[in-house]
Amino acid sequence: MDIDRVRYFSVFAETGSLVAASEVLHVSQPALSKALRILEKEIGVKLMEPDGRGLRMTAAGKNFHTESSELLGKWFGLQTKLKGQTVATPTRLGSFEVFTTYFLNHLFKYVDLNNLEIHEYGPGKLEQEIATCHVDIGITYLPVPQTGVDFTEVTRIKMGVFGAEQFQEKTFVTLPFVVPLFPAEGTPSKVMGLDGWPDHKFERSINFRVTMMESAMALCRSGKAVAYLPEFVVRLHNENVLPSKRLLEIPSPIPQKDQMQSVFLIKRKGHGETALYRKIAQSLRAL
């Protein structure tokens, strides 16, 4: 039994007319009539009967249409299903917005990723998503111990207080900070701020709290606030804004040696270091 002839009959059954069916199928009426007569011979059942100048389905034809509809759905869905199985699995990279907003263009200089998913989570949640196989590789500088994941320190980045030029001569206690709205939880160090600021050592004046880092950058550009940021983020930011909107480093009480922040790659425990993992590590070391 030819599947195309079954499809022709299904279209005839749904349109109720040879004329309409031939238009939908883009075949001539004689060719359609011939195909349907052959189908009747193949299955040995009368599917249609005269109805005035046209045709209508017999009771057997109605039954055949009902039974064959499911067959057609499965048949024509098979190709789509098989194609879906051959689609390349995307690379799922997880981090928080500090990295994903400015790091991606830098990463693409080292890695050719045409099928990429970016998952943005805070510390703790990121590790959970890697452990449960929802993310493949994570980037963090606030590692949270989690069963089922391994951390590897790949580089150290410089942190600093950055803001508009007008804050250069201000005393630290007068600086209006913008900070993440949600604190980091579960980190083994005493760092409480999601931005990595050592709150247990140095108090600061917090005027703004935001969810998105880009909101913090906007406040800094407008001269409303300063922020504690990775130096590479500010460098990449300054490459893409007008000179008047560039951010400058502001003196802070944190000693130079303590401004260096470790950056970790996260993977599932027991999984080896893939070529992609090593290329991401290389791109981080080049920041």
Q: What is the DSSP string of 125-140?
A: HHHHHHHTTS-SEEEE
Percent of the chain at pLDDT exceeding 70:
92
The answer to which of 78-82, 120-124, 232-236 has the lowest mean pLDDT is 78-82
Mean pLDDT of 195-204: 86
- Using the 8-state DSSP alphabet, how is residue 88 labeled? P
pLDDT for position 16: 84
**249-282 exposure pattern, b = at least 16 Cβ within 10 A, e = fewer:** bbebebeeeebebebbbbbbeeeeeeeebeebbe
C-alpha to C-alpha distance for 186 and 7, rounded to whole angstroms: 60
- Sorted by where each begins, the domain ranges of the chain are 3-84, 91-285
| pLDDT band of 266, cuts 50, 70, 90 | very high
C-alpha to C-alpha distance for 49 and 66, rounded to whole angstroms: 18
Mean pLDDT of 151-168: 94
Task: Using the predicted structure, report yes or no on whether residue 166 has a pLDDT greater than 60.
Answer: yes
Q: What is the dihedral of CA 17, 23, 25, 27, to 10 degrees?
A: 100
pLDDT for position 82: 64
Q: In terms of CATH architecture, what is 91-285?
A: 3-Layer(aba) Sandwich (3.40)
List the helix and strand counts (H, then E) for the chain.
9, 11
A 10 A CB-CB count for 21 gives 22
Write down the residue that tokens 């045709």 correspond to: 55
Task: Using the predicted structure, report yes or no on whether residue 83 has a pLDDT greater than 80.
Answer: no
| pLDDT band of 175, cuts 50, 70, 90 | very high
Mean pLDDT of 217-233: 94
pLDDT for position 84: 56
Task: Using the predicted structure, report yes or no on whether residue 190 has a pLDDT greater than 50.
Answer: no
- Using the 8-state DSSP alphabet, how is residue 141 labeled? S
The answer to which of 109-123, 143-157, 220-234, 264-278 has the lowest mean pLDDT is 109-123
Is residue 143 within 8 A of residue 187, CB to CB? The reply is: yes
CATH topology of domain 3-84: Arc Repressor Mutant, subunit A (1.10.10)
- Which stretch of DSSP H or E encloses residue 49? strand 48-51
Task: Using the predicted structure, report yes or no on whether residue 151 has a pLDDT greater than 60.
Answer: yes
Bigger pLDDT: 175 vs 122: 175
- Which stretch of DSSP H or E encloses residue 195? none
